[in-house]
Amino acid sequence: MSFFSGMISTVFERRYRGAVDADARSTPELAHDLLGNHGEVSGGTLARLILDRYAKMDRARKLAFFEFMTNGLNISAEAVTQTLQAYQDAPSKESYRNFATACEPRRQELTRRLNQVSGATARLVAMRKDLLDFLPDHPELGPLDVDIRHLFASWFNRGFLVLRPINWTSPAEILEKIIAYEAVHAIDSWRDLRRRVQPADRRCFGFFHPAMPTEPLIFVEVALTKGVPTSVQALLADGRDAIEAEVADTAVFYSISNCQSGLAGISFGNSLIKQVAADLARDLPALKTFVTLSPIPGLNKWLKTAALPAAPAGQEAALAAHYLLEAKRADGMPLDPVARFHLGNGATVHAVHAGADTSENGMAQSGGAMVNYLYDLSQITHNHEKFVSDKTVIASATVRTLSGRITKRS
């Protein structure tokens, strides 16, 4: 197919090049062609030409292309002001359309038109990854990122995402991406991967976008257990005996990984956890408890700076609880980013465990401590309200008691 569709597109491209010498035109000129009359008939050809050119650009040329999009396809303040005034003076469909058109920089339409060829969406997502890499040193590109992120938020709307199970019957081309993208507890090998997706008591689900069918956007790994687990090494132990899914009472979300840097800032995690919880609850009626087994990435860093009394041995869990409940940012939100995510989703701090992640990374970030956040479907709206309005961190009595053992010095 790719061969023949390539042939066809070559025909079109030759025609286009016949009519207009594409090679002699700069990428901005091609972009203007795509935005103009040519775009209606030769849009696919032009979009492919521009994307292919982009793929071959070095960093300097990419920067130039982004600067063209930022400055060359920006709004005109004058046009905004004029059309706004005209709309104010005589509100109508026409005057409003003029205003709306003036407000939206042409770079948005360019991005939409680039998207018309097969495979373009993934290439545009990759393009934004490049853009994000430039941003720290080139803050002037910020407005371009605002527009692309806005467009992506519309394209990757929850209603367009597809939840798919990922397991040992999944295509290898998808599974190798799970290995590559796993961000929390690294997957060493295909054998390790199989332990995560094949046993009867393991599940993995990802969100996919129909235009990028082999690219997970985000995925979550789930263990089905009896009781709430207290150690990720035990959970993932090689050679453990799997249980039947039907007898499990607890679903443990032990790893959630975003896959696409180019979609940074567009949040899928909240929806994913709730959808997976709902689907599991439907299929496995014995499941009563939905928890995470989560890292506490900011604990050790905070401990170094916190004015705490020397903790006696055995106080690791208490310190972790204290950190989760008391350590705050300037805006009053929890210091720990994972805590902010789950509490923002309406979860609560359910239990804290010392020695729960004895990997090098686990020891380095939190001395091995981990936390269960509890998703009680009947409480998450209420919890979320409290968290958002009052910044209240809801925790179990056990965790509160643990935390209370730690007293600030002075």
By CB under 8 A, name the one of 282, 305, 313, 314 that touches a second copy: 282
**C-alpha pair distances (Å), 11 with each of 1, 6, 8, 396:** 15, 9, 5, 67
Burial of 367 (0-12, 13-18, 19+ CB in 10 A): buried
**Interaction pattern, residues 146-185, with a second copy; x per rule: CB under 8 A:** xx--xx-xxx-xxxx-x-----xxxxxx-xx---------
Contact 324, 352 (CB under 8 A): yes
Contact 371, 351 (CB under 8 A): yes
Judged by CB under 8 A, which stretch of 110-118, 232-240, 307-315, 401-409 contacts a second copy? 110-118
In sequence order, the 6+-apart residues with CB closer than 8 A to the CB of 151 are: 108, 111, 112
Q: How many residues bind a second copy (CB under 8 A)?
A: 96
By CB under 8 A, name the one of 121, 292, 366, 403 that touches a second copy: 121
Closer to a second copy by Cβ: residue 19 or 364: 19
- Find the binding residues for a second copy in span 207-226 (CB under 8 A): 210-211, 214
By CB under 8 A, name the one of 25, 32, 38, 301 that touches a second copy: 38
Q: Does 93 bind a second copy (CB under 8 A)?
A: yes
- Find the binding residues for a second copy in span 365-384 (CB under 8 A): 377-382, 384
* Nearest distance from C-beta of residue 14 to a second copy, angstroms: 8
By CB under 8 A, name the one of 35, 63, 64, 84 that touches a second copy: 84
By CB under 8 A, name the one of 26, 246, 361, 364 that touches a second copy: 246
By CB under 8 A, name the one of 61, 142, 237, 358 that touches a second copy: 142
By CB under 8 A, name the one of 27, 82, 115, 258 that touches a second copy: 115
By CB under 8 A, name the one of 34, 50, 236, 245 that touches a second copy: 245
**C-alpha pair distances (Å), 13 with each of 33, 71, 100, 144:** 14, 28, 33, 29
Of 185, 209, 322, 342, which residue is the catalytic one?
342
Q: Does 133 bind a second copy (CB under 8 A)?
A: no
- Clarify whether 342 is annotated catalytic: yes
Helices 77-89, 93-103: inter-axial angle, 10-degree rounding: 160
Of 42, 231, 255, 294, which residue is the catalytic one?
294
DSSP assignment of 47-77, as one string? HHHHHHHHHH--HHHHHHHHHIIIIIT---H
Strands 289-292 and 250-258: parallel
Lookup: tokens for 125? 């997502």
Q: Does 288 bind a second copy (CB under 8 A)?
A: no
Helices 37-56, 2-19: inter-axial angle, 10-degree rounding: 120
* Nearest distance from C-beta of residue 165 to a second copy, angstroms: 12
* Nearest distance from C-beta of residue 5 to a second copy, angstroms: 7
Distance of CA 73 to the CA centre of its chain: 28
| β-pair partners for 221 | 204, 255
Judged by CB under 8 A, which stretch of 42-50, 57-65, 300-308, 390-398 contacts a second copy? 42-50
By CB under 8 A, name the one of 10, 26, 29, 88 that touches a second copy: 88
Contact 240, 230 (CB under 8 A): no
Q: Considering only CA atoms, give the Rg of the chain.
A: 26
* Nearest distance from C-beta of residue 11 to a second copy, angstroms: 6
* Nearest distance from C-beta of residue 272 to a second copy, angstroms: 12
Between CA 215 and CA 164 the distance in angstroms is 11
The catalytic site residues sit at 294, 342
